[in-house]
Amino acid sequence: MRIEGAAALVVGGASGLGEATARALHERGAHVVIADLDDERGAALAAQLGQRGRFVAADVTLPEQLEAAVAAACAAPGGLRISIQCAGIGYAERVARARGPHRLEAFEQVVAVNLTGTFNALRLASAAMLANEPDEQGERGVCVNTASIAAYDGQIGQIAYAASKGGVVAMTLPAARDLAGSGIRVCAIAPGLFDTPLLARLPAEARQQLADAIPFPPRLGDPTEFAALACQIVENTMLNGEVIRLDGALRMTSG
């Protein structure tokens, strides 16, 4: 899929991995629609991107808001051909402790945003892509979702997060198969430890300990590295139905 001249929707695009991806797509010539809950950051980023940038306030758990974001991307020059889903939340709690069981509401919220929200974006974006004329390789669109290495080796207290990201991993291949006949590809990236706003809140010592656990390179991932892989997935037509770990060979222990 050619990025230049296409319209791209980046859900969760106002910060972190999503912001880096929105910038990378824009640099490569895409018209970028940023969908996010953060009005201030989203609008500021769109303003920086200029005429090829637009912000739409959207909650991934509310279909009507995501529908508006998809419509905005469809109306952009080139039409919606690229959808990147980066919105997500985390919550730390064990299944059960002396004070009681894991709060069901917290588990449901994480799954609602990370898994159901990802599916919500995937179903709406891919449905819109069906109307596209296929390109010279027969492609109508590309969807890239964000999983996590926690889907494979979640740590203590990550049951909600790991379950939600495991669902993203599990739906990648069937989604790709569902859409293959229409020329729409689906992949996912499973990032490891990245230097995002979430980790930025940790003390410097804790951040360094996390970085030291990564075999190579022994540092936190840079969001631009996630963005580069997302763009490579878009451009490489043979990548389909795949979940790619981006983690510096990190395999997390139970701690």
Adjacent-strand bridge partners of 101: 96
Burial 61-73 (b: 16+ CB within 10 A, else e): eeeebbeebbebb
On whether the CB atoms of residues 219 and 194 are closer than 8 A, the answer is no
Q: Residue 91 catalytic? A: no
Return the number of other C-beta atoms located less than 10 Å from residue 79's C-beta. 19
- Give the per-residue SS3 of 190-211: EECCECCHHHHCCCHHHHHHHH
Spatial CA neighbour of 126 closest among 60, 182, 54: 182
**Residue of 133, 136, 163 whose CA lies nearest to 147:** 163
How, if at all, do strands 96-97 and 100-101 pair?
A: antiparallel
Written as six digits, the tokens of 222 are 């840079």
Residue 118, helix vs strand vs coil: helix
Which DSSP state fits 137?
Answer: T
From the candidates 55, 91, 107, 161, give the one annotated as an active-site residue: 161
DSSP assigned state of 78: T
- Tokens 């706003």 belong to 197
Q: Active-site positions?
A: 161
